[in-house]
Amino acid sequence: MLINKIPAPVITKEHGSWAVLLVPIFASAGVAGMLTVNFFFLVLSSLAFFLAYTPGHTLLRQYFGSNQHQEKVEQAKFWTVTYLAIGITFALRLLITGYTLLILFGGLAVISFLGNFFLTRRYSKSIGSDLLAAAGLTLGGPSAYYVLTDRVDSTALLLYIFNFLFFGCSVFYVHMKIRASGTKKSGMTWVDKISFGKLNLVYHIAVVSLVGTLVALHSTSIIALLAFGPMFVHAVFGTLKLSGKVRFKNLGFLLLAQSVVFGVLLTLVEWK
Domain identity same for 161 and 252: yes
Residues 123 and 70 in one domain: yes
DSSP state of 182: T
From first to last of its 272 residues, the chain has per-residue pLDDT tens of 445 578 888 888 788 899 999 999 999 999 999 999 999 999 999 999 999 999 988 888 888 777 777 888 888 899 999 999 999 999 999 999 999 999 999 999 999 999 888 888 777 778 999 999 999 999 999 999 999 999 999 999 999 999 999 999 999 999 999 888 887 777 778 888 888 889 999 999 999 999 999 999 999 999 999 999 999 999 999 898 888 787 878 888 889 999 999 999 999 988 76
Looking at the domain assignment, is residue 246 inside a domain? yes
Q: How many domains does the chain have?
A: 2
DSSP H helices in the chain:
2-5, 16-32, 37-51, 53-63, 70-97, 102-123, 127-137, 140-149, 154-181, 190-216, 222-227, 229-240, 248-266
Residues 114 and 184 in one domain: no
Domain range enclosing 183: 154-272
Residues 129 and 185 in one domain: no
Alpha carbon distances (Å) from 22 to 26, 85, 140, 202, 256: 6, 20, 8, 27, 11
Give yes or no: residues 178 and 268 share one domain: yes
33 in the Ramachandran plot: left (φ > 0), alpha (ψ -120 to 50) or beta?
A: left
Flag whether 62 is in a domain: yes
Do 168 and 192 sit in the same domain of this protein? yes
pTM of the full structure: 0.91
Q: Is residue 263 part of a domain?
A: yes
Residues 243 and 165 in one domain: yes
Question: Is 148 in the same domain as 19?
Answer: yes
Q: Are residues 132 and 175 in the same domain?
A: no
Q: Of the candidates 97, 132, 152, which is a domain's last residue?
A: 152
